[in-house]
Amino acid sequence: MQIIITDSYEEMSMAAAKIAAGQIYFKPSSVLGLATGSTPLLMYKKLVEIYKNIDIDFSHIISFNLDEYIGLAQNNQQSYYYFMQENFFRHININIDNIHIPNGMAEDITKECADYDNMIKAAGGIDLQILGIGQNAHIGFNEPDIKFEATTHAVELDNDTIAANARFFADEKDVPRRAISMGIKTIMLAKKVVLLANGSNKAEAVYKAVCGKITPAAPASILQLHRDVMMIVDRKASALLP
């Protein structure tokens, strides 16, 4: 595991954007695993800037997002589909047919999950997976005590996660209680993983991911077993690291 500590959120975002840009530039048919949330917002912005500066081509890129709320339609402003369109996809030349985000409105959620993993496999697997981390050390929406073997599946969100994500909704009661998430196994099969974290509220989770016992109680701890993980964290999020 490689750990990069940056002085600021901006520097963290730029470092991650450069890695993503390099991946896309030198393998224009890359398969990207993408995250939503506050953490990668500036990374997406920087990547759009790099795209404009050096003309990287997203037209053959295939993307798979980590997760989506169950019960939110694509045009719902709180859906992750909407988030990705607004913050990234509409600013680049990605082919809309190459964008994959679990369908939270699918009638058969079990089939939706199985199909999602099959599509990732058919695309040749994920080349570069971008991750954020929850305060409870979740990755994707794999909450504590999830099975490490899980592939894409429906999850019940923890109360902590619902509370943390309530900031994006008018009221906490509007936060969906369920989501579809790539499983830990799906994430672990990615060829390269870049995890981003900033802020002191992520320090404990980062510590558990890097130095803690490998346990489903801290889902991100499984990343210690991945052969190519880079953690890019700002000083505040790195505060508990030895």
11 catalytic? Reply is no
Q: Which of 185, 198, 187, 136 is nearest to 165 (CA)?
A: 136
Shortest distance in whole angstroms from residue 159 CB to ligand F6R: 14
Q: Which of 162, 100, 139 is nearest to 231 (CA)?
A: 139
Shortest distance in whole angstroms from residue 38 CB to ligand F6R: 4
x-or-dash string of contact with ligand F6R, 181-220, rule CB under 6 A: ----------------------------------------
The single residue among 100, 138, 153, 208 that binds ligand F6R, judged by CB under 6 A, is 138
Catalytic pick among 65, 117, 127, 138: 138
- By CB under 6 A, the residues from 8 to 67 that bind ligand F6R are 35-39, 66-67
Query: Tokens 């890129």 belong to which residue?
Result: 61
10 catalytic? Reply is no
Residues 6+ apart with CB under 8 A from 127: 23, 27, 30, 31, 32, 190, 191, 192
67 catalytic? Reply is yes
- The site that binds ligand F6R (CB under 6 A) totals a number of residues, namely 14
User: Which DSSP helix (H) or strand (E) runs through 208?
Assistant: helix 203-211
Residue 132 or 176 with smaller CB distance to ligand F6R: 132
The single residue among 139, 188, 209, 232 that binds ligand F6R, judged by CB under 6 A, is 139
Residues 6+ apart with CB under 8 A from 128: 19, 20, 23, 30, 31, 32, 33, 190, 191, 192, 193, 194
Q: Are 216 and 144 in contact (CB under 8 A)?
A: yes
- By CB under 6 A, the residues from 108 to 137 that bind ligand F6R are 132-134
138 catalytic? Reply is yes
Residue 12 or 50 with smaller CB distance to ligand F6R: 12
Catalytic pick among 68, 112, 117, 143: 143
Shortest distance in whole angstroms from residue 59 CB to ligand F6R: 24
Q: Which of 187, 183, 167 is nearest to 175 (CA)?
A: 167
Q: How many residues does the chain have?
A: 242
x-or-dash string of contact with ligand F6R, 60-99, rule CB under 6 A: ------xx--------------------------------
The tokens for 61 are 């890129």
Residue 30 or 79 with smaller CB distance to ligand F6R: 79
Q: What is the DSSP string of 53-98?
A: HH----TT-EEEESEEETT--TTSTTSHHHHHHHHTGGGS---GGG
Catalytic residues: 67, 136, 138, 143
Where on the chain is the footprint of ligand F6R (CB under 6 A)? 35-39, 66-67, 132-134, 138-141
